[in-house]
Amino acid sequence: MVVPAPPDAARELFGSTLPKAEAYAGLLAGAGVERGLVGPAEAGRIWERHLVNSGLVACLLPQAEQTADPIELADLGSGAGLPGIVLAILRPDMAVVLVEPMARRTAFLAECAEKLQLRNVQVRRGRAEDLRGQIHADVVTARAVARLDRLAVLAAGLARPGGLVLAIKGASAGAELDQARPLLGRIGATDVELMSVGAGVVEYPTTVISFRTARNAQHEGRS
């Protein structure tokens, strides 16, 4: 399928990394559609709806710290790599773990990482529940994975104490957050915020619910 030229917003967002973003857009619209990871109708709006939508989250990521180890980001239920691969392109200084249980998706993710030469990407096949305690990410991202009341518990299991969770949501974000607030309190989440990233800059701003995980063990895993 023919991928549209990147819009101005994508050119500004990706800057010098635009060639890799374009290559990834081609993979999504090609093999991604052929393997059923991306709907055929999405190819024509791959930039605005997917790559830019995911990439806007980069402004919420912490900056590199003065430590020997890079900041680790875990993308929960990575699917076709949104937002994980996009963020790996934009932030080569971060170690990105793509967490995905389905074999055909992990195969596609591994191929993307190889073809795009993303040396900062690792693919982990498995459910978040099974990988709990094996991954201790500074940041956990998720896009179209589960409702917030379930997602919060899954994400907290992959984050270090006090880690940042960024959940990309749609029109129901406010309602989801209202429903999940009691659960967020029980698991010790702090700094809970609903925000719109890119408003006034792009046609489709990215809606994000962010929070910090519990900083002490007594809250972990409660639901």
Structure confidence by residue, pLDDT tens digits, 165-189: 999 999 899 999 999 999 999 999 9
Q: Are 109 and 123 in contact (CB under 8 A)?
A: yes
pLDDT tens for each residue of 46-88: 999 999 999 999 999 998 775 667 899 999 999 999 999 999 9
Would you place residue 111 in the very low, low, confident or very high pLDDT band (cuts 50, 70, 90)? very high
Q: Are 210 and 167 in contact (CB under 8 A)?
A: yes
Q: What pLDDT does 223 receive?
A: 45
Whether residue 9 is predicted with pLDDT greater than 50 in this model: the reply is yes
Q: What pLDDT does 84 receive?
A: 98
Q: What pLDDT does 217 receive?
A: 56
What sign does the dihedral 122-188-166-168 (CA atoms) show? positive
Rama region for 195: left / alpha / beta (φ>0; ψ in -120 to 50; rest): beta
- In order of 27, 42, 43, 150, the CA distances from 1 in angstroms are 10, 10, 7, 36
Buried b (16+ CB within 10 A) or exposed e, 185-203: eebbbeebebeebbeeebe
Average pLDDT score over the chain: 93
Whether residue 218 is predicted with pLDDT greater than 60 in this model: the reply is no
Q: What pLDDT does 2 receive?
A: 76
- Share above pLDDT 70 across residues of the chain, in percent, rounded to a whole number: 95
